[in-house]
Every structure is written in C-alpha cells, then in structure tokens.
Structure 1
Amino acid sequence: MSFRQAVRKLCKELANPASLQTKPFNSLPNAGKLIELGGHTRTKSRLEMLQWIFLSGQAAFIVGACSSTSMAEDVSTASSSKNATSTDDFSGLLKVEDESVKSNEHTSKWRVFTDNGREYFLKASSFGNIPQAERFFLSALQEAKQGFGERDPHVASACNNLAELYRVSKDFDKAEPLYVEAVNILEEYFGVNDVRVGAALHNLGHFYLGQRKLEKARVCYERALKIKRRVLGEAHTEYADTMYHLGTVLYLQGKEKDAEYLILDSIDIMEAGGHGESISCVRRMQHLAQIYNKSNRFPEAENILRKILHMMELSKGWKSLDTVVIAERLALTLEAAGKLKEAVELLERCLDARKNLRHHEHIQTAADMLHIARMKILITKELPEANNSQAMAELDKSRSLLNDSVRIARKLIDRFLEQKEKTERFGGSQRTRKDGHSAVVILLQSLNALGALEIMEQGFLSSQTQEHIKAEANASLRQCISTFQELRSEQSISDSLETKAEYLSCLRSLYLSIRKGAARQAGEEKEIQEEIRQVEDEISNARKT
C-alpha cells in the first residue's frame, strides 16, 4: 500500500463526526500545540508515530489563487445543511437564507443592494467601481440588520461580501473582522458543522493566505476541509478546492511533501469527477509542476507539463496564447534537465506561434529569442572541432536572434520612458515599471550573450579577424553597461537585484576581455574593477536586508 493510500485509510478510521463540534474560530487554542486528525486531537508525539498525517496542517505560488473572488450568494431554498452546497458561480459562495423568512421590504432592498454591489464589484478591476460597490454592500449590511436581526445569515452574507471588497482593495484591517463575524454568525445559526460555515472558513483562510498569515490560514482550511468532507464527501470539487489551498499553505510553511500529497489528491478528485481539463485543475497541475521544478525533479515536472500541453493542443491549438505559454514553460523545464535540442525546437515553435498571434514586439518574444540563442550557443560548444562551418552557421543564427531581442527590448524601454509620466498621473505606474524592468533585464542579458557569442567566434577565425570580432564583443558589453548607467535614475529598475546582477555580469565580462587584450588600458581596467566591487557590495548589502 502506498503512503498516500495509507494516509487516506488512517484518516477515515480516525474520523468521528461527533468530535467535529469544534469551538468558534475566535476561541481556538494555539494550533502549534495540538494537531487535529480526522476529528480527533493528538499530541505531537503521537503524531510522529502516525508519520505526520496530511490533515495536520499546511502554498501562488503562485499562490495565484489568492486573487480569486469569493462572493456570498443571495438566497438558497435549502434549509438543511445536509443538502446545502456552494454554487459554482463564485468561489466559496455562502447560501444562507432560511425558508421561514418571508419576503418583505427589507428583503427586496437587501437583494437589490447585494446584486448591484456584486455587479459593480465584479467590474471593479476594469472600471474602477470599488467605491460604488462599497456603498451598495454597506447598504445591504444595514438592510440585513434592520430586516432580519443582527445575528441573521443575511448579515453574514453581507459581511462576507463587504470583506471580499475590502480584501481586493487592500483595506485588510476592515476585511478581517467582517470575515470573522460572518463565520461566527453562521456557526451560531446553523451549527459549527454546516457547509455554509465551511465556505465562510474557506474565505477567511483565503484572506489569511493572501496576508501570509499561514498558521491562521492552516487552521481555517483544516476546519473547512473536515466540514466539507463530512457534508459533501471526498469526491466533491469543493472538498478538493479546500484541500488544494491547504496544500498551498503547507508548501509555504516548508512542508513540501505533505503539500504535494494534498495537491495531488486534489487533482485526482477533479479528474475523477470529469473536471481534469477545467481551468482550476490545470492551474493546480501547473503549481505542482512548479514545485517539482523548484526541487529539481525535472522528469516529474516534464510529465505534468506535457500532459497540460497535450490538452491545450487538442482543445485550443497553437493559435491560442495559453498553449504557447505552457509550451514555453515546458521548454524551460527541458532546458533545466539538459535536453537543449528539444527545448530549442519547442521554443522555436512558440516563437513562430507568437508571431502568428501578432506578438512580434512583445517582451516574451524577445525572451524566447534570447533563450533560443543561449541554448544554440551551448549546443555549438558541444560540436566536434571539425564542424567549424556548422558551428559558425549556428552562431550566425544566434546573433540574428540576439540582435532582434535587443531591438525589441530597447523599443519597449523607450516606450516605457515615454509613457512613464502619463501612467503615473493615471495610477498605472506599477504595471509600467514592471514592463520596463522586464525589458531592461532582457536587454542586458541579450547584450551580454551577444558579447559572449562574439568572443566565442574568435576560436573559429583567423588571428586578424579575431581582433575585429573582439572589438565587436567589447562594444556589445560596453553597450550593456551604458544602458544600465542611462537608467540609473529609474531606481525601481536600477535598484533591482536582478538588474544589478546582469549589470555585474557585463562588467566582469568586459573586465576579463580588457585584461586579455594586447593594448590594455590600465586606467579603464582599474575603473571597471572599482565599479565591480561597488556593485558586489550593493548586492551583498541588499541581500542581507
């Protein structure tokens, strides 16, 4: 029996529905002292005997899931928690209405305010309607309290919606007490084991995960998981969703193996239920591939990414950017695994696809060109010495790719500098800085690679031609350095560790090239050496802080 199977069997044996009557969230004991296992509480010494069972505690990546929306739904006709489930319209919807509540003026107003608030909220990312959504949600909360009472599920629904709005708008101090209040009201009204309580706990855990309050997130997700397992069953997608998020928390806490089991089980449940090709399942698979890549488990990452790419090819084809992005990630994994030729072929196909999608001057196009050129250079180094003509042909292709990458990156930098003032005025500077930073890094990397390529070419040429090529190499490296100096005033870019590391690499390459030159200039050599020391100190100090 595999470890995962043993874990499942043991958790089922330990499950005791009666023991699921846990205390309200605010009265939970310190989770670091006790671990809850399938409904029973065990000490850590007992836990070690059970091989750290996966329900003991638990990351967008990604963590990209932390940006999803969890709005509370309007009303449900289900009065029993045994039959109540969250809908698929939004992640973690709260279905809270009691059938005994008759429609009245407050009910109508509450519904109107809630629907309008939700509509403005969902449009907020593109139209900036957060203030209008807040006004409607506050009105919905007021109507719920006046029409149904302070501790009614409608109030919990309104609290949850308002909390979600504050989370998205980064007003976290206002969001947390509203999430907690929603949980407490639902616990009082429906009991601590109701699925609506599980949905609210999932939302609260989602909030804590985004805040990197990992231990609080772990407790919320574990409680939500036990409720959903009891009410919905282990084959339900909502159970799998909470399981995945719990795995995400565990990963961020450094418990990689436990996180992996949870994420794998979450994917298995989705696939068994016929949701293996859904967006949420694909994202989980990508997250798992990222975990494998980070731990240098490249064959496992490759298998997952190949599976995703196959699904994308069948469902969307190569005319979809989604397919191209997955293929690029697979190429990077192949490169890390040393499968350079296969990685080059895949990236070349991605490059062609991007051009067909009219992404000729996108920064990712420049990045693909850079990666292909770099790998071609590495492949050329492995060619037998007798294949000089083939080597020179490959290097010529690499030079062409690098020149195109430099051209695209420089054009994007110029565009960034032109638009900076305008975007800052209208609040879009963060995205603009990110694009500008990426373009600078790609430009420095491309110029550095171009210098390395031209130095490499010297081994295939006559001594007279070598000096000319060396001068070209130095010119590329000097251009790399002058680009960084030009952008020193853009501190958000020049102070980046990644940018400084590329700048330092260019400095070192130029320094070595000058030292090997026939006509050495002592003054310039010393100046570059001092600059190298200064940048090394800046990088070292930044890493310490």
Structure 2
Amino acid sequence: PLYLQSLDIRKRQLGDDHPDVASSLNNLAGLYYSQGRYNDAEPLYLQSLDIRKRQLGDDHPDVASSLNNLAGLYYSQGRYNDAEPLYLQSLDIRKRQLGDDHPDVASSLNNLAGLYYSQGRYNDAEPLYLQSLDIRKRQLGDDHPDVASSLNNLAGLYYSQGRYNDAEPLYLQSLDISKHQLGDDHPDVASSLNNLAGLYSSQGRYNDAEPLYLQSLDI
C-alpha cells in the first residue's frame, strides 16, 4: 500500500511520465517480483523502462537498471533468450557511462554469468564471474557481502563442473565473510552452509555435510 500511495501521489503531482513515477513503478515491480507475481511485475518494469528511455535517454544509468531488472524477471521465468540481450544492453550502458570498474558493472557481469551458468555455458560464465569478483574486491573491499556472493557463485560454477577442490576454498571464504559481515543467523549464511554441505555430500564426506545441513536448516 505504501508503494501504491507513493505512485499515486507522484502521478498526480508530477505527471505520468516523470522519472520519479518510473522509480515508483520500478519499486512496485520489484516487490511483485520478490513475491513471484511475475505477471504483475512485467508491465510495471516495461512502463518504467519506457518512461526512463523517453525522459532520460537510451544511455542513462537508470535505463541500464531497468533493463537489468526486466532481464532478471525473464531469467527467473526461464526466458533466457529474452533476458540475454537486456543484460548485454545494461552491461554496455554501465561500462560506457560508469566505467569498467564500477560496482554496477560488476553486478551486470555477475548477472550475465548467472544466465550463462543456468544454460550450462560454463566457459562463457567463468570469465565474467572472475571479472565481477575482481571489481568487487578492488572497489568494495575483500570483506564486502557482494564479494561473498561472487565467491559463492564462482564456487557453484566449479561445483557444477566437478571441480571440488577449486570450489571448497571459495565456499569457505564466502561463508566466513557472510558470518563476519551479516551475523551467524543471516539467511545468506544459511545458504552458504547449505552449499558447502552439498559439496561435501557430493564428495561422500557425509559426516562433514550433516552438521552444516542442520545448521542451515535451523537458521
């Protein structure tokens, strides 16, 4: 109801095509996306993107954000062919407008890598995950939660390839950062514990896996 109120006020006071209206539409769409209400989210993301393109220009960072969000929606629906060109456009705009080393560029690289990973395009995904990790370490510091996410994603890629010895230290680093920065009871810690347990389970290290699964479940 708060997002809807905000959208209503902005439309009445600023007009239907104001960039702040686009922001409200984007935020409401993000809420619906988080609830799995994809059919409600898509038209709002599209409206937001249309307003931003017309009012701010095709190369504005906010347009890149809209393209990224819409791509994320399509990715979650398994619409990979719809998502890829939007991720690529978003990445291109961010590189040109923000520079190759901006954290938003790292996010775009990470998202595109995730898409390739989901398609089994591991050789395409790995260099993007590595670039994203490198940017995040340099720009945000070694202990930032986004670095933990990058380590976790890269570990997941190695795990899927059966590269268990490469995956384990990355999962452990990710878990350590998440505990340190977010607290022992954070959902991201639970995910890290679950992922590490899955690795151990795949290696037949059941005694190592069980307590981690139990901890993750408890959180």
TM-score (norm 2): 0.82
Query: Within 2, Cα distance between the matches of 1:267 and 1:225?
Result: 15
CA spacing shift, 1:189–1:254, aligned 2, 3 Å: same
> 2:214 matched to which residue of 1?
364
Name the residue aligned to 1:320: 184
Paired position in structure 1 for 2:145: 279
Distance apart, 1:219 and its partner CA: 1.6
Structure 2 residue 100 is matched with structure 1 residue 234: yes
Question: Aligned Cα RMSD in Å?
Answer: 3.1
Task: Tell me the number of residue pairs that the alignment of Structure 1 and Structure 2 aligns.
Answer: 214
| Match of residue 67, structure 2, among 201, 220, 230 | 201
Letter in 2 for 1:226: D
Distance 2:193 2:11 in 1: 52
User: Is the contact made by 2:88 and 2:112 (CA closer than 8 Å) also made in structure 1?
Assistant: yes
CA contact (8 A) 1:267 1:276 kept: no
Unpaired stretches in structure 2, ≥5 consecutive residues? none
- Contact kept? 1:289, 1:304, Cα under 8 Å: yes
Q: Secondary structure of the equivalent of 2:21?
A: helix
Q: Which amino acid aligns with 1:364?
A: L
Partners of 2:30 and 2:141 in 1: CA distance:
27
Task: Pick one of 241, 254, 259 that aligns with 2:125.
Answer: 259
Shift of residue 193 of structure 1? 0.4
Deviation by residue 1:140-186 (Cα, 9 ceiling, x = unmatched): 33332332222221221221122223223333222211111111111
The structure-2 alpha-carbon separation of the partners of 1:173 and 1:302, relative to structure 1 and needing over 3 Å to count, comes to: closer
- CA 1:218–1:329 in structure 2 vs 1: closer, same or farther (change >3 Å)? closer
Are residues 142 and 283 of structure 1, via their aligned partners in 2, closer, same or farther at CA, if it must alter by over 3 Å? same
Selected match of 2:12 from 135, 138, 146: 146
- Given that residues 209 and 249 in structure 1 are in contact (C-alpha distance below 8 angstroms), is that contact kept between their aligned partners in structure 2? yes
Matches within 5 A, 1:134-533: 136-308=2-174, 311=177, 315=180, 320=184, 326=192, 329-330=195-196, 333=199, 336-337=202-203, 344=207, 347=208, 351=211, 364=214
**Any idea what SS the aligned residue of 1:320 has?**
coil
Question: How far did 1:225 drift?
Answer: 0.7
Structure 1 pair 204/331, CA: closer, same or farther in 2 (3 Å)? closer
1:235: Cα distance to partner? 1.0
Shift of 1:258: 0.6
Change (3 A) 1:336 1:207: closer
Q: What is the CA-CA distance between 1:312 and the residue it aligns to?
A: 6.4
Amino acid at match of 2:44: L
Partners of 1:159 and 1:181 within 8 A in 2: yes
AA in 2 matched with 1:320: D
1:163-220 Cα offsets, whole Å, 9 max, x none, are 2232233332222111111111111111100111111111111222222211222122
Tell me how far apart the structure 1 counterparts of residues 171 and 5 of structure 2 sit (CA, whole Å): 47
Letter in 1 for 2:130: L
- Following superposition, the deviation at residue 299 of structure 1 comes to 1.6
SS of 2:120's equivalent in the other structure is coil
Whether the 8 Å contact between 2:101 and 2:135 is mirrored in structure 1 is yes
Residues 211 and 275 of structure 1: CA distance in aligned 2, closer, same or farther (over 3 Å)? farther
**How much identity, in percent, do the aligned residues show?**
27
Matches within 5 A, 1:25-174: 133=1, 136-174=2-40
CA distance in 2, matches of 1:300, 1:210: 27
Distance between the aligned counterparts of 2:194 and 2:29, measured in 1? 37
Distance in 2, matches of 1:321 and 1:308, equals 15
Bigger share in helix = 2
Per the alignment, residue 375 of structure 1 pairs with none
Tell me which amino acid in the other structure corresponds to 1:258. D
Q: Taking CA–CA contacts closer than 8 Å with sequence separation of 6 or more, which of the two structures ends up with the larger relative contact order?
A: 2
Structure 2 Cα separation of the partners of residues 177 and 208 of structure 1:
12
Asked if structure 1 preserves the Cα contact closer than 8 Å seen for 2:67 and 2:89, the reply is yes
When residues 324 and 149 of structure 1 are mapped into structure 2, their CA distance, relative to the original with a 3 A threshold, is: closer
Asked if 1 retains the 8 angstrom alpha-carbon contact of 2:145 and 2:177, the reply is no
Cα distance in 2 for residues equivalent to 1:308 and 1:169: 27
| Conserved? CA contact 2:151–2:173, under 8 Å | no
| Structure 1 position 270, deviation (Å) | 0.6
- For the Cα contact (< 8 Å) 1:205–1:221, is it kept in 2? yes
Distance 1:290 1:321 in 2: 22
Amino acid of the residue matched to residue 180 of structure 1? Answer: L
